[in-house]
Structure 1
């Protein structure tokens, strides 16, 4: 459970006055800002919380329990305040989610969101933001899901006047109890009285809050499970903040083309591992398919696309046709599609197709649709011919006369929603300006529950993963750097083929995943290694792990990346990846990116091991 900062109105006022409230919030959230900061998140707490507490006091809500910066399940996102108590009349638990905004000055509507004075990035409608936070809580708390009326939300723009927010009022979310400006503060006071009983004692309200904080979240749904449900009109992803902005931006561009606007609009979505890029892609594809738009989902990964065919299409030829490869557009007419959704666009290749007039692959992707969408993570480029960077795609699009919009996703929704784990990985691998840091030191006081561990042998790593799966429906996989030979399958004496145990570390021996295009008894094909339960018995590589997630990740470092004198040293002669070895100048970058990808596949935790003794000591030191 995340570290909780909470109290009654009187308690929080006292802690605000003596300075301990800001200090506790900084510790609980892992904020990098000093406690005396006047701007940023700390400045927002200092400016907004006293105003909220004043409103609550005037409304007679002094006994209501206030939980601050409550982190949503499996998400880095936090609700500014959750007001906890009992509902008048029914005495049921009642929770009011409050998003506090310091916005002032005119709010201007723009494609996909809103432009706000003093903020660089586009903003989601604040009422939609808090509505979606409520959806996320309902999705992962079964008791609340059975009683959705117990959750309400309000956005409080305590510095803004009505006339400055006219654009918000004209937008989709217009109910007054979802959006309150400074001049509507009495509406907020009335809402508080409507959903929270002021006569209930503080001890009862404290227990209501504790029940929410202690509730065990339901297991996170995987991308593949949720995506499959979307095409059967069942489940959908709850897109939050920048994710929904990106979605809105694409749908706005599609709407413009339907209204006859001939300008081509390219949308680029940037985000790290687990930031929700594929969730956005699937949400867009399902919506566009349901509204009869010509749209496809394209990748440069055979493993990812074939898994989508099996797990999402599930024999439906119409759905299967929606999932294609980057290379499939050389003979398509320009603007033949409404939308092409290029997932994992960092894997776009640097090559031309003679079938399309010698165009580059990125040019084909831009030309084929009225609205091309590119979702990418530049730190997941792992082969020399992968060129899908923002600069490359944006430059090509601008040169072809396109309007370009860029959205940057924040946070980490895989890895248990841990904001800090991605930072830890980047620091560990020297991909950050900051030095490596011990995991337990980084997360101290934050309540971060992601598990990081190093084992002394591959056998103990494997046993640790088996222990995590035992008695649960959790999944786990072991992946390794490409540092061992990869043999062709051998006859098994029964008319079939068997895998060769090439990954040999001491007495521990395991095969790589099935070579591409081969069929082997008792092992899934390469494309399904990450999703088929039988995949645990083979060691995966970067090409079968990238783009996938599992509950527990085991990562074996080979000798292609070792620690010497407290510095990472890339050893090209130890690598078996001929494609990466062809680019000596970029080998160090590509091998670090490879391990970053492998380290960020696990949803609940990761276990590491290096075959190099000094490197394993280094990993042990920083994974404590």
Structure 2
């Protein structure tokens, strides 16, 4: 949150000054934004603060609601999204806490995309459709209720509105066709009297400080992990609340399925409308391929699972394919866990049918699957041929992606251009788009720009890419943003102690490392301590095709609580997330001359043996650390084996682990320790 003041206090800050183009309020918010977020506010934010907030403040003052508290730019828990304003006060009838979330838009004209009624052109001139303002505030409110128990105590406690204060009804008429709810009403310049009546119906002329404090300090429920979403597939309303472009992508795809029902056998669309159900379907103009591209934690898997869940609730199967063994087997395991007595065999068959691998469609008939959702598509291989492929099915020249596009009536790919970690993984948006267009398909590429991971810190995502040199500027010092905790451990032993303590406190926590040590088969019933750093030794997670007592299978390492006892690699960590993330940077990634360089000779990954080009190995190793460094939801702890690299991390990361004392109790290892490790904090006498 950038600022909280009463309406009366804000009223004194919206008086224009002759010597400034900005209101005093705007100047204050510009400074606050720079101070809190570490970057300058963009012109859209500044214009909104200068032109839109005064409309709401004046409306409050006109209604005699001077003591209502106004919170500006209120962050949604765990995300980088924020509500423009949250008004806090007391309900005029019950006297209980009452809240109004307000999404402000300066637009004067708006048109709805004919292909998708929630995608609108708001006239920004960037050629991009935005989420319908009413649906945007509805999703924001639903998200707040999902993660803030204080708002769930009374279903009428929170209301949401989208205020288009410059627009006339006639100029945004198309927007009114979307159904309104208590979490999303639409008001324009023609509706300001109605908006004032909303204010007086929600708030009494009394102080809103109590309500504001309650909301600001409310307990926040933990973020649902991908596996939590999968477990809730059969629950009505289960899974993540998709926001902004995630929801636009979800809605575009599901509406496409409705429009093409005769071609895909979907007799009743997901958004069934009796008035339109019997109209002839629109000519789809050829097979349509969707590519959803987003960084770590951007909601790709949530969209995939929500699509599959929504279709399943309508009685239709959508197959979810992946190149990740851990991801696929975890989803199968979750489905098996729901089997009742006598259902195990049927559940196992269904799990294998619904959750498959990219290389399992070589002999599948064309267009035999209605919807094929390809998650983790950055792990797409050049071809599906492998050493166990029967001779009659071998086709090294046929791209694996072509097989998948051919197999499905509606192929959907979800990927991150910086997460391919093996030389033969070729899945990028440009690669898939080119192959699809060569096959005569229409292609839609959607960028998912939000983030549900790293506390919703987009700054952290950008910082990691800068650190690793993934197509952006050189590494920079990490500037804490209050969302993501980033610290450096003094040693792997200290990292392990910290991670283990977080686990004992009930958090999910894991340690991963670069593939710089051999990965041995178990020694009988014992794992081998392969990861050796001086006198600290720990085992990798269990190898695939092996089992060890008291340790989870490799595909369950990220989700089984026993996984905290082993070191994970990129192949077991990819796709998953945990609250606390420990990352050991091995000698394959060295910081030299102000940036990271790759030393392939230090890698023990068998994928790099043989005649693999240096540029390919460099890409894969950088991408592997990109994956490892972006698994954390709450915080990440790093340690580098190479001394120069570790010192560089200390210069770039201010956070450290240290012992803290609490009211005379036993000291605890926390992420708020001194900046220098103990060995450097004492002066020689």
Q: TM-score, normalised by structure 1?
A: 0.93
1:583 has 2:619 as partner: no
Report the Cα distance in structure 2 between the residues aligned to 1:54 and 1:145, rounded to whole angstroms.
30
Question: Which has the higher mean CA deviation after the structures are superposed, 56-65 or 409-418?
Answer: 56-65
Instruction: Name the Cα RMSD after superposition.
Output: 2.0
Count of aligned pairs = 604
2:630 to 584, 600, 613: 600
Partner of 1:326: 358
1:506 to 534, 537, 542: 534
- Contact conserved, 1:550 with 1:603, CA < 8 A, in 2? yes
Report the Cα distance in structure 2 between the residues aligned to 1:25 and 1:182, rounded to whole angstroms.
29
- Contact conserved, 1:553 with 1:607, CA < 8 A, in 2? yes
Partner of 2:300: 277
Structure 1 spans left out of the alignment, 5+ residues = 492-496
1:68 is paired with a residue whose SS is: strand
Report the Cα distance in structure 2 between the residues aligned to 1:215 and 1:99, rounded to whole angstroms.
22
Report the Cα distance in structure 2 between the residues aligned to 1:423 and 1:165, rounded to whole angstroms.
36
> How many angstroms does 1:221 deviate by?
2.0
Partner of 2:18: none
- Contact conserved, 2:308 with 2:317, CA < 8 A, in 1? no
Partner of 1:114: 120
> How many angstroms does 1:466 deviate by?
1.6
Report the Cα distance in structure 1 between the residues aligned to 2:38 and 2:105, rounded to whole angstroms.
19
Report the Cα distance in structure 1 between the residues aligned to 2:446 and 2:198, rounded to whole angstroms.
34
Alignment of 1:438-453 (within 5 A): 438-439=477-478, 442-443=479-480, 446=481, 448-453=482-487
In 2 relative to 1, CA 176–456 (structure 1 residues): closer, same or farther, beyond 3 Å? closer
In 2 relative to 1, CA 7–24 (structure 1 residues): closer, same or farther, beyond 3 Å? farther
Report the Cα distance in structure 2 between the residues aligned to 1:114 and 1:285, rounded to whole angstroms.
25
> How many angstroms does 1:432 deviate by?
5.3
Question: Which has the higher mean CA deviation after the structures are superposed, 599-608 or 320-329?
Answer: 320-329
In 2 relative to 1, CA 460–175 (structure 1 residues): closer, same or farther, beyond 3 Å? closer
Partner of 1:423: 462
Report the Cα distance in structure 1 between the residues aligned to 2:183 and 2:536, rounded to whole angstroms.
64
In 2 relative to 1, CA 375–329 (structure 1 residues): closer, same or farther, beyond 3 Å? same
Report the Cα distance in structure 1 between the residues aligned to 2:454 and 2:352, rounded to whole angstroms.
29
> How many angstroms does 1:176 deviate by?
11
- Contact conserved, 2:110 with 2:175, CA < 8 A, in 1? no
Please list the CA deviations of residues 120-177 of structure 1 after superposition, one character each: whole Å capped at 9, or x if unmatched: 3221121111111111111112232121210000001112221222222123447897
Alignment of 1:342-491 (within 5 A): 342-351=374-383, 355=393, 359-431=398-470, 433-439=472-478, 442-443=479-480, 446=481, 448-470=482-504, 472-491=505-524
1:148 is paired with a residue whose SS is: coil
Partner of 1:184: 191
Please list the CA deviations of residues 58-110 of structure 1 after superposition, one character each: whole Å capped at 9, or x if unmatched: 23322210000000111111000000001111111000000001222241234
> How many angstroms does 1:356 deviate by?
8.8
1:95 has 2:99 as partner: yes
- Contact conserved, 2:460 with 2:484, CA < 8 A, in 1? yes
Alignment of 1:142-153 (within 5 A): 142-153=149-160
| Greater relative CO, 1 or 2 (CA 8 Å, sep 6+) | 1
Alignment of 1:535-614 (within 5 A): 535-580=563-608, 582-614=612-644
Report the Cα distance in structure 1 between the residues aligned to 2:99 and 2:69, rounded to whole angstroms.
10
In 2 relative to 1, CA 88–361 (structure 1 residues): closer, same or farther, beyond 3 Å? same
Partner of 2:63: 59
2:50 is paired with a residue whose SS is: helix
Report the Cα distance in structure 1 between the residues aligned to 2:32 and 2:498, rounded to whole angstroms.
34
Question: Which has the higher mean CA deviation after the structures are superposed, 42-51 or 156-165?
Answer: 42-51
- Contact conserved, 1:249 with 1:267, CA < 8 A, in 2? no
2:368 to 329, 336, 340: 336
Report the Cα distance in structure 1 between the residues aligned to 2:156 and 2:613, rounded to whole angstroms.
58
> How many angstroms does 1:267 deviate by?
1.2
1:179 is paired with a residue whose SS is: strand
Structure 2 spans left out of the alignment, 5+ residues = 15-22, 263-280, 340-346, 386-391, 655-685
Please list the CA deviations of residues 278-319 of structure 1 after superposition, one character each: whole Å capped at 9, or x if unmatched: 011110000111112231111001111001111244243335
> How many angstroms does 1:336 deviate by?
1.4
1:218 has 2:250 as partner: no
Q: TM-score, normalised by structure 2?
A: 0.85
1:548 is paired with a residue whose SS is: coil
- Contact conserved, 1:488 with 1:515, CA < 8 A, in 2? yes
Report the Cα distance in structure 2 between the residues aligned to 1:28 and 1:297, rounded to whole angstroms.
43
In 2 relative to 1, CA 579–501 (structure 1 residues): closer, same or farther, beyond 3 Å? same
2:130 is paired with a residue whose SS is: coil
- Contact conserved, 1:5 with 1:24, CA < 8 A, in 2? no
Please list the CA deviations of residues 23-42 of structure 1 after superposition, one character each: whole Å capped at 9, or x if unmatched: 244236526335xx6x3222
In 2 relative to 1, CA 151–612 (structure 1 residues): closer, same or farther, beyond 3 Å? same
1:379 is paired with a residue whose SS is: coil
- Contact conserved, 1:542 with 1:597, CA < 8 A, in 2? yes
Report the Cα distance in structure 1 between the residues aligned to 2:123 and 2:628, rounded to whole angstroms.
40
Report the Cα distance in structure 1 between the residues aligned to 2:405 and 2:242, rounded to whole angstroms.
25
Partner of 1:236: 239
Report the Cα distance in structure 1 between the residues aligned to 2:602 and 2:169, rounded to whole angstroms.
65
- Contact conserved, 1:86 with 1:92, CA < 8 A, in 2? yes
- Contact conserved, 1:274 with 1:413, CA < 8 A, in 2? yes
> How many angstroms does 1:322 deviate by?
1.4
Structure richer in helix, relative to its length = 1
